[in-house]
Amino acid sequence: MIVRGVAVALTSLFLIRSAAAEPPPCSSPDISRPTGTNEHRADNYPILSIVLGEEGTAMVSFVIGADGRTGAPVIDQSSGSLRLDDASKEAVRSWTYSPPMSAGVPTACVQRVQVNWVIPESDAFKTLKIELAKHGFKTK
């Protein structure tokens, strides 16, 4: 009986979620283009991805709320690495925007962006690779 109740609750939750109206795309002509209010970077490169030489580009869709905060990031196209995809969503969650406007009223919209992951050749990363090599880790 408990399992059936859980299944019904989950089904109900799914139906409520799928029935909710999704905000329009930020590219809609009746919505002013939202502008970033903080630096939109993805600088949380996962260490294991550096060690493994993982690079790639993730396509991420997310909601910009009427308050300018971001939420509900979804990977539309994977970078090829689950770690980089998760880091892409984490980066997007930290971004903020000036509120998108429609007819002078703040409104939510859905934005889609590319998050590019390329291992930088900075001195800090070179030092990290050297230290990892000292401990037996091979990096690309």
For 22-134, CATH number out of 3.30.2420.10, 1.25.40.10, 3.40.50.300, 3.40.50.720 equals: 3.30.2420.10
Angle ∠(54,119,60) on CA atoms, nearest 5: 65
Looking at residues 58-85, what average pLDDT do you find? 96
Tens-digit pLDDT profile for residues 117-137: 998 776 666 777 777 778 777
Percent of the chain whose pLDDT exceeds 70: 77
**Every domain of the chain and the residues it spans:** 22-134
pLDDT at residue 28 in the model: 87
Give me the residue label for tokens 């109740």: 5
pLDDT at residue 33 in the model: 78
pLDDT at residue 34 in the model: 78
Tens-digit pLDDT profile for residues 84-114: 999 999 999 999 998 889 888 999 999 999 9
The HSE-up count of residue 22 (CA atoms within 13 Å, CB side) is: 11
Looking at residues 3-24, what average pLDDT do you find? 53
pLDDT at residue 16 in the model: 45
What single string gives the DSSP state of each residue in 47-59? HHHHHHT--EEEE
CA-CA-CA-CA torsion for 57, 63, 65, 69, nearest 10 degrees?
A: -30
